[in-house]
Structure 1
């Protein structure tokens, strides 16, 4: 996926970064030692073959001159923190971090190296799998997501703060950040921004049912799941995590909007039954928040293809209808 947030670097800089991480003796030699991994939507990632044949991945944060959405600021620091949490406090398979550099000496942004995962991206192969195998993988994902959510946080909101004592305050602040981002860039979301704010405020009482902050990935879609031989072998891309309500996880989105797919296998693996009325209201708010981001980020990322924008605009109308707002 093309995006102006991808901070591509020339080969000589990539070599210098690799030498700093692994030493002069492992600097890549010859041709064909680097290739860009194309599935990401935000950071650039390179697959690099070291001189001894080992393969690693280099992930580089966006350049500082490119404006990102408010919630995306400092995303690489969030990812490194979450990787440490998951490695030390769960059995969920995540990449090791070989080396991280925040000095900005070799390039203009943070970066880190991790081992290359020799596996298939679930988003790429999902439609080629037999239905039963695909469902089994989604059950595994549900179980893994539940284990991630078992980590209790010190507050609601961003990992590094500012924290909130209540989930209502944290979520409404997160949503306001998204709306303010859209207004700042004049993004046409198809609705008056004040109407969206009113819909959130009308249903915000449902958020008070959440009293304990949990680590949530939020961005755990198929594209961040690596599989091999019918098993999940790694979960990648953890930069959007925060402390909040586990029901905001991507696997629950389909409970309210069919466009996000059948949630049943994920929910079986997670061990979550049918949503209560209050849970449905919360999940509808979370769908609205997600779709606002999907619409607004297309402007921040400089998309020239309108496919995501058009799709998300239509789904945003559906989410607003679920919250009692329809066009006149």
Structure 2
């Protein structure tokens, strides 16, 4: 994964950002992400917090990524009243862009370790994996019980609508515009538009805007490595009000297969739901394909990543019959 030294925050900036919470004793940059810059900070009183900021330069962002840190702060604040969502407490937010050129959240540090690093076996063989999947399904159910007034991204009025068909169509068309602006080659725009036109009735089946994290892959989930218990959920900056099926796709971005324990009672088999699941995979395939060019990813991993995402996009479009 890329590691851009230009995204490193000076210690003086970290001190200023954390000052409303406490004094900095030490700081460690956390790697592994490609969007935000994140630090684990130990305070003088022994507490640990996480400081996260993201670029505000529109040239490096997709349309839906503007002001995403503000969405993260909004979701963390909402989660403060819903402990079952297992998100960290929001301690401070700075949207002035006076200290660093982007928005900032300071959140409590979570217990546990990332699910990606614990080496669970298959769920039918490893009870820890089964526990983690069941807990994730329960968190999704609690997320989706929270409802909003409009569909779409909280910080993007242009990507909101009174209907899910309207919001989702705007989201997808914005991605196609991003691809054109960035010169992304071989984007099947005509097939994508045909899929939207052909399956609008399925999108209309979603009538209530529900809170969707959209990025619940194992790297954003903290677990107890001994038991598999899900202890924490992070990175809700891409959250939106929409179709809960987007969370199934976000938890399974490389199309490995969503376990029944995660899907819970969500309908994934009726004709409308099956179409929406494929539309969600089409949407995520577009996001992950286009970001390679927009972010200027480089290296062998980027080549493999883009190829896998293009395969997922093509598979979704084939499944949608376009």
Q: Same fold (TM over 0.5)?
A: yes
Note if 1:275 corresponds to 2:273: no
- The 1:185/1:161 distance shift into structure 2, 3 A limit, reads closer
Distance 2:77 2:251 in 1: 27
Aligned twin of 2:218: 222
Distance 1:173 1:126 in 2: 39
Q: CA deviation at 1:66?
A: 4.5
User: Aligned to 1:209, what secondary structure does the other structure show?
Assistant: coil
Aligned twin of 1:16: 16
Distance 1:248 1:34 in 2: 35
Note if 1:259 corresponds to 2:255: yes
Aligned twin of 2:2: 2
Aligned twin of 1:125: 118
Aligned twin of 2:233: 235
Q: For 1:52-91, what aligned pairs fall within 5 Å after superposition?
A: 52-64=45-57, 66-89=59-82, 91=84
Aligned twin of 2:289: 295
Report if the CA contact (8 A) 2:216-2:251 is conserved: no
Distance 1:258 1:94 in 2: 24
Report if the CA contact (8 A) 1:149-1:216 is conserved: yes
Name the TM-score, length of structure 1 as normaliser.
0.88
Q: CA deviation at 1:62?
A: 1.3
Report if the CA contact (8 A) 2:248-2:258 is conserved: no
Distance 1:258 1:15 in 2: 38
Which one of the candidate residues 177, 181, 186 is aligned to 2:183? 186
Report if the CA contact (8 A) 1:45-1:58 is conserved: yes
Which one of the candidate residues 144, 149, 152 is aligned to 2:144? 149
Which one of the candidate residues 180, 200, 207 is aligned to 2:196? 200
Name the TM-score, length of structure 2 as normaliser.
0.89
- The 1:288/1:126 distance shift into structure 2, 3 A limit, reads farther
User: Aligned to 1:211, what secondary structure does the other structure show?
Assistant: coil
CA RMSD between the two structures: 2.3
- The 1:308/1:97 distance shift into structure 2, 3 A limit, reads same
Specify every segment of 5 or more residues in structure 1 that has no aligned partner in the other structure, as ranges.
none
Distance 1:253 1:233 in 2: 16
Q: CA deviation at 1:216?
A: 0.9
- The 1:253/1:161 distance shift into structure 2, 3 A limit, reads same
CA deviation string 1:141-195 (max 9, x = no partner)? 011111100011101112245331211111111100111101111102x444223
User: Aligned to 1:44, what secondary structure does the other structure show?
Assistant: strand
Aligned twin of 1:95: 88
Aligned length: 313
Note if 1:169 corresponds to 2:162: no
Distance 2:250 2:291 in 1: 22
Specify every segment of 5 or more residues in structure 2 that has no aligned partner in the other structure, as ranges.
none
CA deviation string 1:252-310 (max 9, x = no partner)? 876xx98333422212xx33355211110111111000000000011122210322111
Report if the CA contact (8 A) 2:37-2:54 is conserved: yes
Distance 1:5 1:168 in 2: 41
Once structures 1 and 2 are overlaid, which stretch shifts more, 203-212 or 178-187? 203-212
Distance 1:164 1:6 in 2: 37
Report if the CA contact (8 A) 2:213-2:238 is conserved: yes
User: Aligned to 2:84, what secondary structure does the other structure show?
Assistant: coil
